[in-house]
């Protein structure tokens, strides 16, 4: 009897199968939200046909910051110091602006020790996908409250959090990030569309993904548990993404859907549930975050987008050639030029 032929592996538009988009086997707890986010990152980069060798991954310290080991194995990577990923990413992007960069941080890594670096990253609009895997606690050091833990939220041992949270989306919008979204690790479809849109966006894409910690913060009284988030998720509408390489025309009802053209020509369609919500209106975005948090809800989806804003590389007016590949002769002024400067200072 002849053997059935092995089915051909599915390949993407650059001819790769999914294997090079995967990473090492996860060492995080089974059921941790961070694992689901890694899965969506694999799907998004595979489906967008991004060459993993053109990607550089960054992280700080935490369970979340271990995640870049679990996706895009052939990519470049730098697992940095706690809260210091933004400065490392900034240096790398200045050295080679042709790379596509993705950083993974935690709510502690970003909101506590790294808040100063986060603030300056957002105001610079560095081209970087910046993901916060937000579980409201320091998972790696056994579940202490982080700065995104809600006021009144209960720890596993019954301790009540008596400090108000930092809303990283509101902070990012106020400071100048040009793509700001919130999603949930359990919402596969929304998170995948948001990640694909972020890949197409040029500028900082700040994505806060609520990502329950099953070991330390998934109990009753936590506002970052699977059941709480499922009951209080208020999607802003449907997020659909059409990449520039797919020639699909989408029928949509003008007035109820906002179509946004992204940097590479891809289209993002945001079907609104709140009919008057405009994701390019900063004040409306801040009001939405404020109002939903007052109701103890999470607004999810693309909250703010400014597709044509100059990014940090544009602002610095860098030469076209990546700095890392310039020769010594190109970067060092000749002796005669230095002598002339010295002479002018006499």
User: Please, are residues 264 and 197 in contact by the beta-carbon 8 Å criterion?
Assistant: no
Task: Tell me the torsion sign for CA atoms 200, 204, 208, 209.
Answer: positive
Pick 108 or 301: Cβ nearer Mg ion:
108
Regarding 124 and contact with ligand SF4 (CB under 6 A), the answer is no
Angle ∠(79,64,28) on CA atoms, nearest 5: 105
Instruction: Give the footprint of ligand SF4 on residues 213-232 (CB under 6 A).
Output: 213-216
Site string for ligand TPP, 145-184 (x = CB under 6 A): -x--------------------------------------
- Residue 224 Cβ, how far from ligand TPP at the closest point, in Å? 10
- Binding track, positions 104-123, relative to ligand TPP; x by CB under 6 A: --xxxx---x----------
In the complex, the smallest distance separating the C-beta of residue 210 from ligand SF4, rounded to whole angstroms, is 12
Q: What is the largest CA-CA distance in the chain?
A: 93
Q: How many residues bind ligand SF4 (CB under 6 A)?
A: 12
Among 52, 68, 106, 301, binds Mg ion (CB under 5 A): 106
**285 contacts ligand SF4 (rule: CB under 6 A):** no
Could you give the dihedral angle defined by the CA atoms of residues 14, 183, 214 and 132, in that order, rounded to the nearest 10 degrees?
Answer: 80
CB contact at 8 A, 16 and 45: no
Binding mask 305-344 for ligand TPP (x = CB under 6 A): ----------------------------------------
Does position 135 interact with Mg ion (CB under 5 A)? The reply is: yes
Q: Find the shortest distance in angstroms from Cβ 144 to ligand SF4.
A: 12
| Partner that binds at residue 214, options ligand TPP, ligand SF4, Mg ion, none, CB closer than 5 to 8 Å by kind | ligand SF4
Q: Is 107 in the site for Mg ion (CB under 5 A)?
A: yes
Per CB under 6 A, the list member of 21, 23, 32, 165 interacting with ligand SF4 is 32
Q: How far is the CB of 177 from ligand TPP (least distance, A)?
A: 19
Whether residue 172 contacts residue 180, with contact meaning beta carbons closer than 8 Å, is answered with: yes
Any contact of residue 175 with ligand SF4 (CB under 6 A)? no
Q: Does 210 bind ligand TPP (CB under 6 A)?
A: no
Per-residue interface string for the shown chain with ligand SF4, residues 126-155, x marking contact by CB under 6 A: ---------x---xx---------------
- List of residues contacting ligand SF4 (CB under 6 A): 28-29, 32, 34, 63, 135, 139-140, 213-216
- List of residues contacting ligand TPP (CB under 6 A): 61-64, 82, 106-109, 113, 133, 135, 137-141, 146
């Amino acid at each position: 009897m002849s053997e059935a032929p092995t089915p051909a592996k599915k390949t993407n538009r650059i001819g790769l199968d999914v294997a090079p988009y995967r990473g090492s086997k996860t060492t995080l707890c089974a059921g941790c939200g961070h694992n689901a986010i890694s899965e969506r990152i694999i799907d998004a980069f595979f489906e967008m046909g991004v060459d993993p060798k053109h990607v550089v991954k960054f992280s700080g310290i935490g369970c979340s910051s271990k995640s870049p080991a679990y996706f895009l194995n052939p990519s470049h990577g730098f697992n940095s110091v706690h809260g210091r990923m933004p400065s490392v990413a900034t240096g790398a992007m200045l050295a080679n602006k042709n790379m596509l960069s993705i950083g993974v941080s935690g709510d502690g890594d970003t909101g506590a020790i790294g808040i100063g670096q986060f603030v300056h990253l957002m105001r610079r609009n560095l081209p970087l996908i910046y993901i916060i895997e937000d579980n409201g606690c320091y998972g790696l050091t056994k579940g202490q409250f982080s700065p995104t833990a809600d006021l009144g939220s209960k720890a596993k041992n019954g301790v009540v959090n008596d400090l108000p949270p930092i809303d990283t989306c509101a902070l990012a919008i106020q400071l100048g990030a040009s793509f700001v979204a919130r999603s949930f690790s359990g919402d596969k479809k929304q998170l995948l569309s948001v990640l694909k849109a972020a890949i197409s966006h040029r500028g900082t894409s700040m994505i806060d993904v609520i990502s329950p910690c099953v070991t330390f913060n998934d109990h009753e009284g936590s506002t970052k548990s699977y059941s709480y988030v499922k009951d209080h998720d208020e999607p802003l509408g449907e997020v659909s993404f059409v990449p520039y390489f797919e020639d699909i025309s989408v029928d949509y009802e003008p007035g109820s859907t906002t179509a946004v053209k992204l940097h590479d020509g891809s289209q993002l369609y945001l079907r609104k549930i709140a009919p008057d919500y405009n994701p390019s209106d900063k004040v409306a975005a801040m009001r939405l975050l404020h109002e939903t948090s007052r109701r103890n809800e999470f607004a999810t989806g693309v909250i703010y987008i400014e597709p044509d804003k100059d990014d940090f590389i544009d602002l610095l007016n860098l030469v076209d050639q990546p700095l890392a590949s310039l020769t010594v002769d190109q970067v060092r002024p000749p002796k005669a030029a230095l002598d002339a400067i010295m002479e002018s200072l006499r």
